Structure 1
Amino acid sequence: LAELEAAFQLKGIMEEEKTPPDVFTYGVLMNGLCKDGRLEDASQLFDEMCGRGLVPNDVVYTTLINGHCKHGKVDSGLELYGMMLKKGLRPDLFTYNTLVYGLCKEGDLRRARKVVDEMAQWGLKPDKITYTTLIDGSCKEGYIEMALDIKNKMVGEGITLDDVTFTALISGLCKHGRVVDAERNLREMLEAGWKPDNITYTMVIDGFCKMGDVKMGFKLLKEMQDSGCVPGVVTYNVLMNALCKQGQIKNANMLLDAMLNLGIAPDDITYNILLDCRCKHGNPKEFDQLRCEKGLVHDYASYTSLINEITKPSKDYENS
């Protein structure tokens, strides 16, 4: 921010010395404003530049398009793109990728794919960034088959998938219950030489746990650890929740001990999972001992679990 203000001070000095800024200078200033989210100021600067008889070039237009798309003003970005074409300026791959990103972020895949088709008019081909953005957008909107088709197209065109592409696919597949396919892509990711991170492994573990396959979840946990990827508290919470849902209180306690031995600090979610487990499958009074040993502070979720247990009709009462 200080650098941007200094740049504007320099612009003022240039004007005082009768050395008006050129297109390049205006472009640099607009880029700074766009990065700072000051889109209205950037647009005013654009108007000022045009008012002085300077003709914006492709870099200036792309700078403004990028700024608007990154800050959720995709319609404004498309309007600038239209102006750019009318001026006879040639958009480059970065311009198109920016528009695709903005449209996918808004969930407008139809227009995103239309923009990709327009690239061909300038002899441009989608690259890894274009395809990865489309895959991510398709997955987030639930178009999993479309995402897989794009992946196959990438492979067919000899474009190597990277960790970002694989992670987007795995996330989408897990989110829509395609855990087996997600695990298959995890294997492909490893075979391609990419190392899944904590979040990627945890997504797949969570998917299997939600299917009731806790054994596979623990298999992936061990794989994580063997590969040098350190599981965090979220990973353990996912597994602990799955164990508790199956009534495996003893194994859940063992997992808690394993966490502590590894120096991973349980959080409120961990203890609330255990409390809920004891309320449903054991004796909630045992939780007080656990709470004292581990230093848990009661929170609203704990209170709710206990109230639910206390107010639940007993089997004897129900059968009377």
Structure 2
Amino acid sequence: MSMRLSSTATLKTFRQIFRNGMSPPSVNIYNFRIRGFAGAGNFESESALIVARCKEKKVREAFGLWKAMTDKGVEPNLVSSNAVIQGLCEEERIEEAEEVVEEMNRKGLTPDENTYMSLFQLLCDRCEADKAYKVLSEMIVRGMLVIW
């Protein structure tokens, strides 16, 4: 038997959790809460959860949510994708950050300056000049950076 919460009950639960300083410990809890909004989850609530997890420095959970969202066919937005990329870059997980950018491009979501600068900064910090140059070149091609 499936239990569904109304959106009002779900919001009330979220408010209570955050007011008490608690943080849901896992993706399963988030998925349970999201189902209360729209059966299988919805774009806005999932994106907001991803950004929140990144702000809490829980990048592994945020990346898991982002992947689950894309696996379900829900296209991520630029804000949630950039939050994941920035978090992954802060943890020096460049391969996964590049994976997010590739998925964005496959889905037709255009990376912006924030996307590229997160990658560029990490690549420079790691002395990966060739990869950093490619990121810079992509920014120029996309008209995000003007060289005089």
Q: TM-score range by the shorter chain?
A: 0.7 to 0.9
Give the secondary-structure state (helix, strand or coil) at the position aligned to 1:159: coil
Structure showing greater relative contact order (alpha-carbon pairs closer than 8 Å, 6 or more residues apart): 2
Structure-1 separation of matches of 2:139 and 2:23: 35
Task: Give the superposition deviation at 1:122.
Answer: 1.3
Paired amino acid for 2:139: M
8 A contact 1:22–1:54 mirrored in 2? no
Give the deviation of 1:101 after TM superposition: 0.7
Q: Distance in 2 between matches of 1:136 and 1:118?
A: 20
Match of 2:74 in 1: 89
| CA separation of 1:38 and 1:127: change in aligned 2, threshold 3 A | farther
Q: Indicate how the Cα distance of structure 1 residues 135 and 21 shifts in structure 2: closer, same or farther if over 3 A, else same.
A: same
Q: Number of aligned pairs? A: 139
> How much has 1:49 moved relative to structure 2?
2.9
Contact 2:51-2:84 at 8 Å conserved across structures: yes
Q: For 2:53 and 2:90, how far apart are their aligned partners in 1?
A: 12
User: Is residue 2:92 matched to residue 1:107?
Assistant: yes
- Paired AA for residue 64 in structure 2: E
Secondary structure of the equivalent of 2:114? helix
Q: Does 1:76 align with 2:61?
A: yes
Q: CA deviation at 1:69?
A: 2.1
Within 5 Å, give how 1:225-240 maps onto structure 2.
Answer: none
Identity of aligned residues (%): 25
5+ residue gaps, structure 1, are 1-18, 162-187, 192-320
Runs of at least 5 residues in structure 2 that lack an aligned partner in the other structure? 1-5
User: How far off its partner does 1:45 sit?
Assistant: 6.6
Aligned partner of 2:24 in structure 1 is 40
1:128-167 deviation per Cα after TM superposition (whole angstroms, max 9, x unaligned): 1111111112122232342233122211221136xxxxxx
TM-score (norm 1): 0.37
Give the C-alpha shift of residue 80 in structure 1.
0.9
Q: Secondary structure at the match of 2:135?
A: helix
> Following TM superposition, by how much is the alpha carbon of 1:106 offset from its aligned partner in structure 2, in angstroms?
0.6
CA distance in 1, matches of 2:50, 2:58: 9
Give 1:65's aligned residue.
50
Q: CA RMSD in A?
A: 3.3
1:69–1:157 Cα change, 3 Å: same
**Could you tell me how far apart the structure 1 residues matched to 2:31 and 2:42 are?**
14
Give the structure-2-normalised TM-score.
0.73
Secondary structure of 1:120's aligned partner: helix
Instruction: Map 1:1-320 to 2 at 5 A.
Output: 21=8, 25=11, 29=15, 33=18, 38-40=22-24, 46=30, 49-50=33-34, 52=36, 54-55=38-39, 56-160=41-145
| Inter-partner Cα distance in structure 2 for 1:81 and 1:124 | 14
Q: Which has the larger radius of gyration?
A: 1
In structure 1, C-alpha distance between the alignment counterparts of 2:99 and 2:69, rounded to whole Å = 17
